Amino acid sequence: MIKFSGIRTTLSKGVVVPSLIFIIGICLLSALYPRLTENLLSSVKDFIFVNLNYVYVWSVTIFVLFLIYLMFSKYGNIRLGRNDSKPDYSFFSWISMLFAAGMGIGLMYFSVAEPMQHYSNEIFSGNTAVKRAKDAQLYTFFHWGIHAWAIYGIVGLSLAYFAYRYRLPLSLRSCFYPLLKDKIKGKWGNAIDVFALCSTFFGITTTLGFGVVQINSGLETLGVLPGSSFMYHVLIVAVLVSLSIISAVSGVDKGVRILSNINIISVVVLLLFVLLLGPTVYLIGSFTEGIGSYINNFFNLTFNTHVYEAETQPWFYNWTILYWAWWISWSPYVGLFIAKISKGRTIKEFVAAVLIIPTLFNFIWMSVFGNSAIWFDQHIANGALSQLASNPDALMFRFLEYLPLAKIISFLVIAIIIIFFVTSADSGMFVMNSIATKNARISPKWQTIGWGVLLAVLALMLLNAGGLNALQSMTLITALPFSIIMLLFIVSLVKALSIDRNYYERDFSVTTIPWSGESWKKRLKQIVSFNDAQSVNIFIGTAVKEAFLELQQEFAKNNIETKINSYENPQRIEIEIPYNIVNNFVYGVKNDSKIISDYLLSEDNLPEVGNNRTSFPKSYFGDDREGYDVQLFTKNELISDVLKHYERFIEIISEERNKIFISSDTNRNMR
Q: Which three-class secondary structure state does DSSP give residue 628?
A: coil
Q: Which three-class secondary structure state does DSSP give residue 439?
A: coil
Contact predicate 452/140, CB 8 Å:
no
The whole-angstrom distance between residue 46's C-alpha and the CA centroid of its chain comes to 30
- CB count in 10 Å sphere of residue 298: 16
Contact predicate 231/216, CB 8 Å:
no
Q: What is the mean pLDDT of the chain?
A: 83
For residues 245 and 445, what is the distance between their CA atoms, to the nearest angstrom?
Answer: 10
Least reliable range by pLDDT among 20-34, 68-82, 206-220, 344-358: 206-220
Residue 25 has pLDDT above 50, yes or no: yes
Residue 488 has pLDDT above 80, yes or no: yes
- Cα distances from 540 to residues 11, 70, 271, 406, 532, in angstroms, run 48, 42, 60, 72, 13
For residues 358 and 102, what is the distance between their CA atoms, to the nearest angstrom?
Answer: 9
Which residue in 111, 109, 41 sits closest to 469, CA to CA?
41
In the β-sheet with 572-577, what is the strand arrangement from edge to edge?
563-567, 572-577, 585-595, 613-621
Contact predicate 582/670, CB 8 Å:
no
Q: Residues 496-550: pLDDT tens digits? A: 998 888 777 666 544 444 556 666 666 666 665 656 788 888 889 988 999 999 9
Q: Say which residue, 396 or 67, is predicted with more confidence.
A: 67
- pLDDT number for residue 347: 93
The count of C-alpha atoms lying within 13 angstroms of the C-alpha of 383, restricted to the half-sphere facing its C-beta, is 3
Contact predicate 607/530, CB 8 Å:
yes
For residues 616 and 604, what is the distance between their CA atoms, to the nearest angstrom?
Answer: 22
- Rounded average pLDDT over 263-279: 89
Q: Residues 400-442: pLDDT tens digits? A: 899 998 888 888 888 888 877 777 777 778 778 888 887 676 7
Categorize the per-residue pLDDT at 599 as very low, low, confident or very high, splitting at 50, 70 and 90. Answer: low
Which residue in 403, 1, 442, 481 sits closest to 196, CA to CA?
481
Check whether the bond before 34 is cis (ω within 30° of 0): no
Categorize the per-residue pLDDT at 38 as very low, low, confident or very high, splitting at 50, 70 and 90. Answer: confident
Residue 662 has pLDDT above 70, yes or no: no
Percentage of the chain surpassing pLDDT 70? 87
The whole-angstrom distance between residue 97's C-alpha and the CA centroid of its chain comes to 10
- pLDDT number for residue 1: 47
- Rounded average pLDDT over 563-577: 91
Percentage of the chain surpassing pLDDT 90? 29
Categorize the per-residue pLDDT at 667 as very low, low, confident or very high, splitting at 50, 70 and 90. Answer: very low
Residue 93 has pLDDT above 50, yes or no: yes
- pLDDT number for residue 606: 52
Q: Residues 345-367: pLDDT tens digits? A: 999 999 998 898 889 988 999 99
- Cα distances from 114 to residues 279, 319, 367, 517, 594, in angstroms, run 19, 10, 11, 75, 56
For 270, phi and psi rounded to 5 degrees? -65, -40
**Domain residue extents for the chain:** 13-504, 520-669
Categorize the per-residue pLDDT at 199 as very low, low, confident or very high, splitting at 50, 70 and 90. Answer: confident
Residue 191 has pLDDT above 80, yes or no: yes
For 563, phi and psi rounded to 5 degrees? -130, 145
Q: Which three-class secondary structure state does DSSP give residue 449?
A: helix
Q: What is the DSSP string of 53-64?
A: HHHHHHHHHHHH
Please work out, in degrees rounded to the nearest 5, the angle formed at the alpha carbon of residue 470 by the alpha carbons of 465 and 476: 150
Strands (E), 504-584: 563-567, 572-577
Contact predicate 132/46, CB 8 Å:
no
Q: For residue 575, what are the β-bridge partners?
A: 564, 587
- pLDDT number for residue 159: 92
Cβ-Cβ contacts under 8 Å for 12 (sequence gap 6 or more): 1, 2, 190, 193, 436, 437, 438
- pLDDT number for residue 668: 44
For residues 12 and 510, what is the distance between their CA atoms, to the nearest angstrom?
Answer: 50
Residue 44 has pLDDT above 60, yes or no: yes
Number of helices and strands (H, E) in the chain? 28, 4
Q: Say which residue, 245 or 294, is predicted with more confidence.
A: 294
User: What is the Cα gyration radius of the chain?
Assistant: 30
Residue 595 has pLDDT above 50, yes or no: yes
Which residue in 385, 402, 381, 360 sits closest to 113, CA to CA?
385
For residues 116 and 135, what is the distance between their CA atoms, to the nearest angstrom?
Answer: 11
Categorize the per-residue pLDDT at 443 as very low, low, confident or very high, splitting at 50, 70 and 90. Answer: confident
Cβ-Cβ contacts under 8 Å for 374 (sequence gap 6 or more): 115, 116, 119, 133, 136, 385
Q: Say which residue, 411 or 295, is predicted with more confidence.
A: 295
CATH of 13-504, one of 1.20.1740, 1.20.120, 1.10.10, 1.10.287: 1.20.1740
Residue 610 has pLDDT above 90, yes or no: no
- pLDDT number for residue 441: 67
Q: Is 503 exposed, middle or buried (0-12, 13-18, 19+ CB in 10 A)?
A: middle
Stated as kind and residue range, the H or E segment containing 323 is: helix 322-340
- pLDDT number for residue 490: 95
Residue 368 has pLDDT above 50, yes or no: yes
Which residue in 154, 161, 197 sits closest to 75, CA to CA?
161
Residue 64 has pLDDT above 60, yes or no: yes
Which residue in 298, 341, 335 sits closest to 485, CA to CA?
335
Contact predicate 79/73, CB 8 Å:
no
Q: What is the DSSP string of 355-409?
A: HHHHHHHHHHHHHHHHHHHHHHHHHTSTTHHHHTTT-HHHHHHHHHTTSTTHHHH
For residues 15 and 21, what is the distance between their CA atoms, to the nearest angstrom?
Answer: 11
Residue 321 has pLDDT above 70, yes or no: yes
Contact predicate 334/152, CB 8 Å:
yes
Least reliable range by pLDDT among 133-142, 309-318, 361-370, 510-519: 510-519
Categorize the per-residue pLDDT at 669 as very low, low, confident or very high, splitting at 50, 70 and 90. Answer: very low
- Cα distances from 305 to residues 133, 315, 476, in angstroms, run 22, 11, 19
